[in-house]
Amino acid sequence: MALPALAHHGWGGYDAGKTLTLTGTVEQFAFSNPHAMLNLGSDGKLWHVVLAPPGRMTARGLPDGTIKPGQTVTVVGYPSKSDPAELRAERITVGGQTVELR
């Protein structure tokens, strides 16, 4: 399954009043602008997770190649108001390292 293409947008489309924590397997990862993205299989559901821009991820210790398909990661973030399978990640834990993305 391909990752969705997103135009750069504001964050008003996410419910900041509802925080979700998801742990699962990275199915697909894209380190591209405007935001890195991953598909995460968690509890039988495939989530599209919007991460930080690649420059910010690199600056915070997550350069390209750090996140790979098959890895288990945990993301904490806000669900989309319009897409029940999309999450804007505020932090990610991968390989024992937790990184704040915003």
pLDDT tens-digit series, residues 32-74: 999 999 999 999 999 999 999 999 999 999 999 999 999 999 9
Of residues 79, 6, 81, the one with CA closest to residue 37: 6
What percentage of the chain has pLDDT greater than the value 90?
A: 87
Residues 6+ apart with CB under 8 A from 2: 28
The CATH number of whichever domain residue 46 belongs to comes to 2.40.50.1010
pTM: 0.88
pLDDT for residue 102: 87
Please check whether residue 2 lies inside any domain of the structure.
no
The amino acid sitting at 94 is V
Please check whether residue 9 lies inside any domain of the structure.
no
Please check whether residue 11 lies inside any domain of the structure.
no
First to last CA, the chain: 27
pLDDT for residue 63: 96
Query: Quick one: average pLDDT of 2-25?
Result: 78
Please check whether residue 14 lies inside any domain of the structure.
no
The residue range of the domain holding 34 is 20-100
